[in-house]
Amino acid sequence: MVAGMIAVGGATRLTRSGLSMVSWKPHGGLPPMTTEEWEAEFETYKKFPEYQQRKNMTLSDFKGIFAWEYGHRMLGRTVGLVYTAPLVYFLLRKRLPVELYKRFGVLFGLGAAQGAVGWWMVRSGLEEHGKEQLQKKNEVRVSPYRLATHEVGRIRKILGHCSTVLGYTIISGAFVAGIDAGMAFNTFPKMDEQWIPDDLFVLDPKYKNFFENVPLVQLDHRMLAMTTIAGFTGVYGMARRPHIWNQLPQQSRTALNMSMAAVSGQVLLGITTLLNCVPIPLAVSHQCGAIVLLTSTLWSQHTLNFAKPMAKAAIKAAPKVL
């Protein structure tokens, strides 16, 4: 359900539907039902900056983008209900160990915060940030700011570093999406005719270029993506050495195989998305690919952390090959 939530959220952004619902009613559940209600909702939407750049929009068009945002919000509520209802039940029945209370509480807080941050992000496109973009004649969007044995031990440690780089890569991808940086420089490996484009630091203060300047934001994402696949390839190559691979549990080997396949597929999918000027199906698939890659990486780390007996065997084998 969480993966579906992320996918629908990506489609909502890519179809420019995220600002169609201009109010937040946590207790409301039904969309407009009559023609009069739809017209009233559309008239409310017209009062906000985004409509000023979409004045040829019809009521039928509005219903289309409204459906995406409405579906995204309802799915979010469903995820919250599916998590909260069983949690409350088991708490009341005292079926949960006390030591898990804090963990479940943190997860609940993160989920609630995600909903609040989502609305905060939408408000940025409806209020001051949207007006600023309108004045600059840019497309109105949410703020990009609003919008992670001796040999086995080494592998585990390096994989941890790769996970950190992967986290930064995913975050940089969010900024690419936030400013539509993928719509520019639709060539690979060069960025148009250059390896490093011009105008990397044209904004002041300079740090804003890392978040709002299309050439630098896309360059950062490319470099992080290449660093990520290089790191994963190195870790996978280390793990595949016979004296290590044969000592790893089957679960660890499966997880590492999946991680390598996921990172390779994600990079190829990202390049394909870029070369085709970010079509929505490919863009959503690329976003979902990040979920698969992150999940497989965490799985790999988890299995290696519990590969204790195999780790000792690897230590004994290590001197023979070092």
Domain-by-domain residue ranges, the chain?
1-146, 148-322
Check: CB of residue 169 under 8 Å from CB of residue 228: yes
Check: CB of residue 275 under 8 Å from CB of residue 187: yes
Distance of alpha carbon 9 from alpha carbon 50, whole angstroms:
18
- Name 270's Cβ contacts closer than 8 Å, sequence gap at least 6: 225, 286, 289
> Alpha carbon of 125 to those of 60, 134, 138, 283: distances in Å?
22, 10, 12, 21
Helix (H, G, I), strand (E, B) or coil at 194: strand
pLDDT at 22: 74
**Max CA pair span of the chain:** 80
Distance of alpha carbon 227 from alpha carbon 209, whole angstroms:
21
pLDDT at 321: 41
> Alpha carbon of 264 to those of 162, 219, 229, 289: distances in Å?
14, 19, 7, 10
- Model pLDDT for residues 87-117, shown as the tens digit of each residue: 898 888 888 888 888 888 888 888 887 777 7
- Model pLDDT for residues 210-237, shown as the tens digit of each residue: 999 999 999 999 999 999 999 999 999 9
In 3D, which of 175, 167, 187, 178 has the Cα closest to residue 271?
187
Q: Give this prediction's pTM.
A: 0.68
- Model pLDDT for residues 264-300, shown as the tens digit of each residue: 999 999 999 999 999 999 999 999 999 999 999 999 9
**Lookup: tokens for 262:** 């996921």
